[in-house]
Structure 1
Amino acid sequence: MTAPARFITFEGIDGSGKSTQARRLADALREAGHEVVLTREPGGSPGAEEIRRLVLEGDPDRWSAETEILLFTAARRDHLERTILPALEAGKIVICDRFADSTRMYQGLSRGDLRALVDQLHDLMIGREPDLTLLIDLDPDTGHARAKGRQGHEERFEDFGPELQRRMRAGFLALAEEFADRFRIVDGARSEQDVARDVLTVVEPELA
């Protein structure tokens, strides 16, 4: 099946189910005959995965928000060069679990008034927005409980507590208004199957 290259991202608070929905969408599109690259941020390339360990593990106060912005931008640049752009140039669909909108929220808004700095670095070093962003919206307390229940090693941001998630949700909804041309909001407070169905309904017209 031939379809135009598309860059699709999933955003949402921790525990919203966006990673699961990104995988489900990738599987559905592959079954339909599309060439799909499923990736994530921070990460998605060898260098970016090394930075991922630095920013997602350890004490919540390990890095300042300013340092995190630099680390995430460095990881994103490597990811863009080595994974995202080559796949798009080859005509593939790229599905990414988080991208620059997460940095706008976590470091640019929720941990300080640094949104302008995030956008300046993004314009200078990245210069690319997704074609479509799916925001999986969920109650912050529910999301935080889900995220903490995973009991993994990458819990540095979950350890900031539910108040951060509340600010994040409000911020993501504001971003969806700011970038209304590419954002679509999907209700995440339903079964995994129902959310996946709605995600596919949003995405399929973009591939026509």
Structure 2
Amino acid sequence: MSRSPRARRGRARLRAVALIGIDGSGKTTQAHRLAEALTQAGHPATYHRNAGGRRWLGRVANRLGRPDAQRLVGRQGMLAVESVLRWLAIAAALLRSLATGRVAVMDRYSACQYASIRAHGGQRWERLARLGYRVFPPPQVTFLLAVDPAEAYRRIEQRGTDHESMAYLTAADTAYRTLPECPSFVLVDAGRPADEVARQIEDHLAGWLAATDTPSGPTVVDVIRRPEVDPVPVEVSL
């Protein structure tokens, strides 16, 4: 008799979890919370920000008198730089996880690069990106944080650190939903309050953690719902 997927998850060791989605979906907030919760529940985890350098290059462009990164290096150049920098960030995160044995909580993964390429109209780059990124194993769980582009736009404007157009956010939302990997993603309604989003993520991961959580210690549920948690190592890449 075959075991259920949930039973099989409970007997496996969680190694990598990815959170993906459009800008403004709350990936960074939820990835930090998840890494802290897993650590406090007895599953040491490290947060990894696998950015593609677009924001950093945008600041460089502004200092050089250009409005954004794409105006500095061109669309094709931006996609190439972004693909390489994200590849390096993911590679470093996976190697660090392998060396330390900690769960890698990935804020962005390879799917984010494929979606970025599609949203920027550089489809011919996607095939090359997939060739390069196929060396990376898929995370055991990938959460797609889905949020209405209008709400994502509001959040981005409110934080005031960067800017994205509604056209791009809408295109990126479509790109994520049309990726061939999309059926394997765990869809999370990221338009809700952060506590509710965290609870949905935790509920799905409970099956992976049940085999090693002990009744005497705090569970991942307790920690996610408790605001006071100790910081965990953070791996930041450009």
**TM-score, normalization: structure 1?**
0.80
Structure 1 distance, partners of 2:181, 2:108, is 17
Give the C-alpha shift of residue 63 in structure 1: 3.1
- Over the aligned positions, Cα root-mean-square deviation in angstroms equals 2.5
Which of structures 1 and 2 has the bigger CA Rg?
2
Contact 2:48–2:107 (CA<8 Å) still a contact in 1? Answer: yes
Give the C-alpha shift of residue 21 in structure 1: 0.8
The code of the aligned residue for 1:163 comes to A
Give the C-alpha shift of residue 72 in structure 1: 2.6
Q: Secondary structure at the residue paired with 1:33? A: coil
1:98 counterpart (91, 104, 108): 108
The code of the aligned residue for 1:119 comes to R
Give the C-alpha shift of residue 98 in structure 1: 0.8
Instruction: Compare 93-102 and 114-123 and name the one that shifted more.
Output: 114-123
Change (3 A) 1:127 1:23: closer
Task: Name 2:136's counterpart in structure 1.
Answer: 127
Are residue 164 (structure 1) and residue 168 (structure 2) matched? Answer: yes
Change (3 A) 1:21 1:56: farther
Which structure's relative contact order is higher, taking Cα pairs within 8 Å and 6+ residues apart?
Answer: 2
2:128 counterpart (105, 114, 117): 117
Change (3 A) 1:53 1:203: same
Gap runs ≥5 in structure 1: 44-48
Instruction: Compare 9-18 and 69-78 and name the one that shifted more.
Output: 69-78
1:53 counterpart (56, 61, 85): 56
How many residue pairs get matched?
191
Task: Name 1:180's counterpart in structure 2.
Answer: 183
Task: Name 2:83's counterpart in structure 1.
Answer: 73
Give the C-alpha shift of residue 186 in structure 1: 0.4
Q: Secondary structure at the residue paired with 1:129? A: coil
Contact 1:7–1:88 (CA<8 Å) still a contact in 2? Answer: no
The code of the aligned residue for 2:173 comes to R
Change (3 A) 1:81 1:143: closer
Structure 1 distance, partners of 2:155, 2:14, is 33
Structure 2 distance, partners of 1:138, 1:4, is 30
Structure 2 distance, partners of 1:129, 1:35, is 20
Q: Secondary structure at the residue paired with 1:63? A: helix
Instruction: Compare 193-202 and 51-60 and name the one that shifted more.
Output: 51-60
Task: Name 1:148's counterpart in structure 2.
Answer: 157
Give the C-alpha shift of residue 81 in structure 1: 4.1
Contact 2:26–2:145 (CA<8 Å) still a contact in 1? Answer: yes
Structure 1 distance, partners of 2:169, 2:144, is 14
1:86 counterpart (79, 85, 96): 96
Contact 1:16–1:143 (CA<8 Å) still a contact in 2? Answer: yes
Task: Name 1:46's counterpart in structure 2.
Answer: none
Structure 1 distance, partners of 2:80, 2:186, is 28
Contact 1:135–1:186 (CA<8 Å) still a contact in 2? Answer: yes
Change (3 A) 1:57 1:202: farther
